[in-house]
C-alpha cells in the first residue's frame, strides 16, 4: 500500500512590510558600499591621483531576481524560529560573499542535487530554500513529499523559460537550451522538459550550434568529436 504524501504546509508571506523593512536595513549593511554610492552620484566615474580614472560598470550590482532571492533568504531567517533548520539547495547565487553571509546566519547548505542520504535527513519541520536558479523537478517533488516548507526564490525570468519549455513538450517540439549542461539552471530547465516526456538539447559553444544547424538542414547522423 502506498504511503500517503505528507500534507503540504500553508504558504507563508515572507515579504511582509515589517519583515522587509528589517531585511532591507540588513542587506544595505552587508552589501552596500559608500565608494560605489559616491561613484554613482558622480556619473559612475572618479579621477584619482596620478591620472588614474575609475569607471563603474553601468549595470554594476545585483539584478532584480538576485535581489529578490537574497531578500527572501534573509526574510526566512527572520520569520522562522532560530531553532528551526533552514537549508539552501546549492548556492542562492554564485557569489561567495553572499553564500558565506547566509551560512553565518545559520542557513545550512545542501548539494544543489541532493543525494538520497541528504534527502533522508530532511524532516517536515525543515525549511528548504530553492535558489534563484531553481531546482530540478524530481528534487522539488521529493522535498514536497517529505513535507518541508519551501521558500522558492527562483527568478521570474527562469520560470518564464520553464513555461516555454513545458509548452514545447506538449507541442512535441524539442527545446534547444543554451548553457552549461552541468549548471543548476540548465539542469532545472531541462528537467521541465523531461518531466513531461519532452525532448531537449543543450548547446554551449558556437561549434555546438554549427553542428546542430548542419544536422537540422542536412539531416542524417553526423560524427561530432568535440
Which residues does the annotation mark as catalytic?
185
Residue 76: Cβ-neighbour burial (10 angstroms; 0-12, 13-18, 19+):
buried
**Residue-by-residue DSSP string for the chain:** -PPPPPPPPPP-----HHHHHHHHHHHHHHH--HHHHHHHHTTTEEE-STT-EEE--TT-S--HHHHHHHHHHHHHHHHS-TTS-EEEES-SSS-HHHHHHHHHTTEEEE-SS--HHHHHT--TT-EEEE-TT---HHHHHHHHHHT-EEEE---HHHHHHHHHHHHHHHTT--EEEES-TTSHHHHHHHHHHHTTT--EEEE-SHHHHHHHHHHHHH-S------
Q: Is the dihedral of CA 78, 17, 99, 85 positive or negative?
A: positive
Closest to 93 (Cα-Cα) out of 153, 141, 3, 150? 153
Amino acid at each position: 500500500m502506498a504511503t500517503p504524501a505528507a500534507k503540504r504546509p500553508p504558504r507563508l508571506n515572507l515579504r511582509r512590510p515589517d519583515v522587509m523593512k528589517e531585511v532591507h536595513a540588513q542587506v544595505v549593511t552587508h552589501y552596500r558600499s559608500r565608494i560605489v554610492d559616491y561613484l554613482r552620484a558622480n556619473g559612475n566615474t572618479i579621477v584619482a591621483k596620478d591620472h588614474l580614472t575609475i569607471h563603474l560598470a553601468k549595470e554594476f550590482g545585483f539584478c532584480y531576481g538576485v535581489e529578490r532571492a537574497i531578500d527572501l533568504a534573509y526574510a526566512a531567517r527572520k520569520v522562522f524560529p532560530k531553532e528551526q533548520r533552514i537549508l539552501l539547495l546549492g548556492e542562492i547565487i554564485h557569489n561567495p560573499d553572499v553564500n558565506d553571509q547566509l551560512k553565518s546566519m545559520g542557513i545550512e547548505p545542501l548539494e544543489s542535487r541532493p543525494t538520497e542520504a541528504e534527502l533522508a535527513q530532511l524532516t517536515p519541520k525543515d525549511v528548504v530554500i530553492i535558489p534563484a536558479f531553481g531546482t530540478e523537478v524530481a528534487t522539488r517533488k521529493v522535498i514536497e513529499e517529505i513535507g518541508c516548507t519551501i521558500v522558492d526564490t527562483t527568478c521570474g525570468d527562469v520560470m518564464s523559460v520553464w513555461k516555454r519549455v513545458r509548452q514545447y513538450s506538449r507541442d512535441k517540439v524539442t527545446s534547444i537550451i543554451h548553457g552549461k549542461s552541468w549548471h543548476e539552471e540548465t539542469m532545472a530547465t531541462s528537467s521541465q522538459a523531461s518531466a513531461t516526456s519532452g525532448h531537449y538539447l543543450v548547446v554551449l559553444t558556437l561549434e555546438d550550434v554549427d553542428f546542430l544547424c548542419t544536422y537540422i538542414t542536412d539531416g542524417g547522423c553526423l560524427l561530432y568529436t568535440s
